[in-house]
Amino acid sequence: MERAAANCILCNSSERSLLYRQEDWTVYCCDACGLGFLDPRPGVNELGDLYRYSYFDGQYGHGLKSRSPEMKKRLSQETHRIRFFRKIMRKGRILDIGCGMGYFLLACRDTGYDVEGMDISDDSAVYVRGELGIPVVVGTIDGINYPLESFDVITMWHFLEHTPDPRPYLQKARRWLKRDGMLVVDVPNYAGTDARKTWALWKGWQLPYHLYHYTLYAGNLEEAPRESWILHGSQQELPLGARQGEARADAGSQTVRATDRPLLFGTQLRRRGEEG
């Protein structure tokens, strides 16, 4: 076990409040920006054990045979993800960080993209390389380097909430993207209607796997370095103070769609100095 950083990693505030507690685990939120964080949390050495094959087994099922009917069905579930960037980037090279069993990358390859993955799990990498024939780099961000401007699209699907420090991933993603490249980040949103309605039963907590808990607000602080922009949210967001009962009243009053609001669910990360 280790302690989370004393000050908020997004806004540097030292003020925190209790957000959620489940058995031995406690999630606090930064009073200034709302970023949620698990404290204490599993240490770096314990994370490896948490992500043994059993995690992926439980989360995603067994590794499927590449041409099986089950795989065909599984790949069809990935098409909604490809839709986020396909209109803007019809071809090119994709890196999926936290690629897990590689199904998203396989769906991308079938659609005509060049694909590569990155993950901390050796076990899933063996499957992705061997069964799917997709290259995977295993490790944490510190030890991995691609040349500048290597990729057209970098994706992080429900990944950034798992990492002990999300910042170096965003910083490196910026360097690895081509000038008109696109970063797509998807994380759970604890201020979304889904979380507010279900709260204790909300699937987005996943303790102790999820070390950070984001909101739209926590991802869009003016003062935060641009690299820290964290963009997400599959549900409309409610004010941070709203609780279960209030959420019910507000839910469905207006649905914000990804097309109306590009920061919702995925976005384009522009380089410093560009407009946007």
Min CB(189)–Zn ion separation in Å: 16
Min CB(30)–Zn ion separation in Å: 3
What is the pattern of x (binds Zn ion, CB under 5 A) and - over residues 233-272? Answer: ----------------------------------------
Residue 10 binds Zn ion (CB under 5 A): yes
Choose which of 4, 19, 29, 33 interacts with Zn ion (CB under 5 A).
33
* 97-132 residues labelled b (16+ CB within 10 A) or e (exposed): bbbbbbbbbbbbbebebebbbbbbbebbbebbeebb
DSSP string, the chain: -BPPPSS-TTT----EEEEEEETTEEEEEETTT--EEESSB--HHHHHHHTSHHHHHHHH-SPPPTTSHHHHHHHHTTHHHHHHHHTT-SSSEEEEET-TT-HHHHHHHHHT-EEEEEES-HHHHHHHHHTT---EEES-GGG----TT-EEEEEEES-TTTSS-SHHHHHHHHHHEEEEEEEEEE--BTTBHHHHHHGGG-TT--TTT--EEB-TTTT--SSS-GGG-----SS-B--TT--HHHHHHHTTS-PPPTTT-TTSS--PPPPTTS--
Chain positions 90 to 129 lying near Zn ion, rule: CB under 5 A, are none
Judged by CB under 5 A, which stretch of 4-12, 58-66, 88-96, 130-138 contacts Zn ion? Answer: 4-12
Min CB(10)–Zn ion separation in Å: 5
What is the pattern of x (binds Zn ion, CB under 5 A) and - over residues 180-199? Answer: --------------------
Min CB(68)–Zn ion separation in Å: 46
Residue 32 binds Zn ion (CB under 5 A): yes
What is the pattern of x (binds Zn ion, CB under 5 A) and - over residues 35-54? Answer: x-------------------
Nearer to Zn ion, 27 or 128 (CB): 27
Nearer to Zn ion, 169 or 214 (CB): 214
Residue 8 binds Zn ion (CB under 5 A): yes
Count of residues near Zn ion by CB under 5 A: 8
Min CB(32)–Zn ion separation in Å: 5
Judged by CB under 5 A, which stretch of 22-30, 122-130, 140-148, 177-185 contacts Zn ion? Answer: 22-30
Judged by CB under 5 A, which stretch of 33-41, 62-70, 208-216, 252-260 contacts Zn ion? Answer: 33-41
Query: CB under 8 Å to 124, separation ≥6 — which residues?
Result: 53, 56, 63, 99, 100, 101, 102, 136
Residue 11 binds Zn ion (CB under 5 A): yes
Query: Rule CB under 5 A: which residues touch Zn ion?
Result: 8, 10-11, 13, 30, 32-33, 35
